[in-house]
Amino acid sequence: MVPVCLSFIDVCWSLLALSFLAALCAHRLSPDLHRKHETGRLYVVFQDLIRYGKTKQDLKRDEWLRVFDVPKRWFWHFYAISVGWNCLLLLFYLNFTFLHQSYPQWLTGALDILTSGVPNTDNQVPQLSTLLVQLLLCIQSLRRLLECLFVSVFSDGAVHLVQYVFGVCYYFVLGLTVLCCDRLGKGTGALLSQLDWFHVAGIALFIAASLMQHQCMVLLARLRTGKSGAVETLAHREPKGGWFELVSCPHYFAELLIYVSLSLVFGGLSLTWWLVVLYVLFNQALAAQLCHDLYISKYESYPRHRKAFIPFIL
């Protein structure tokens, strides 16, 4: 049996995934916890850290906790940062691949730290995979940025300052993680000769999941706009139509599929990226479950057959 060597970045993603899994299990396995401890300081702080937007509004918080609130509409900051950062990393990788220019010293140092703990062996991930994943991340970030600015209608919901800082750091680390999956960048021959079926399958799934997520964003926005497109209300309404007939949060499910599609583009060869997928699974599952519970408690006629996150499963 070949031993599995985890790098520093692998350990980080593993810990993040386990943290959100623990939070999800605590939420699902303790239905009476909220009623018993809804005013307990430790419980309220924990809920304040895992909830955002509409799932935070009914949380009984002290005024001092509200000092750390920032507007949920600031989500667009994450995607603006992601577009700039991932495009910069893509430029560095293009120079590295085609012009054989070394990474900047600061980037090399960062990658050395993040990949510490694994032997310097030849990487199985094709250079074409790394290039495509970086390009798809740029496209995904740009689409989400445009949706935040021109499609979504944000209420006065809030996110915790810790969540905001975490989101900013997340997109910086995510871009570096792509390069960590192909640390040596030796590739497997000429770039076009590396094209394989899993690249096509991954891109096809990425396109399908992106269209699915965009449709969900449009449907959510229409809950607050009239036929003319003008905003009529900022109140939360029961989502209906499309994938919302199967799950409460299909946009979160689409997010998971997007990350799975990127793992396919890597040919399924990157343990690091599968750990990212694992983190996204538990993170989005927790957010979806919180929304699902809110819908069930708020709307008496809410369909009980709907799942929270993954159709027919979760």
Over residues 120-137, the pLDDT tens digits come to 544 568 889 999 999 999
Res 186: pLDDT: 55
Res 122: pLDDT: 46
**Most trustworthy range by pLDDT among 28-37, 237-246, 281-290, 298-307:** 281-290
Q: How confident is the model at residue 274 (pLDDT cuts 50, 70, 90)?
A: very high
Nearest to 120 by CA among 28, 187, 201, 183: 183
Report percent pLDDT > 70 for the chain: 90
Place of tokens 């990788």: 93
Pairwise CA distance, residues 244 & 311, whole Å: 10
- Please name the residues in contact with 164: beta carbons below 8 A apart, sequence gap of 6 or more: 70, 74, 77
Q: How confident is the model at residue 34 (pLDDT cuts 50, 70, 90)?
A: low
Give the least confident one: 31-40, 75-84, 229-238, 297-306: 31-40
- Residue 142 pLDDT > 90: yes
Pairwise CA distance, residues 230 & 207, whole Å: 29
Q: How confident is the model at residue 198 (pLDDT cuts 50, 70, 90)?
A: very high
For residue 231, the cross-strand partners are 225
For residue 225, the cross-strand partners are 231
- Residue 200 pLDDT > 80: yes
76 or 181: whose pLDDT is higher? 76
- Residue 107 pLDDT > 60: yes
100 or 19: whose pLDDT is higher? 19
Mean pLDDT of the chain: 87
* Mean pLDDT across 266-277: 93
- Residue 102 pLDDT > 70: yes
- Residue 36 pLDDT > 60: no
- Residue 5 pLDDT > 90: no
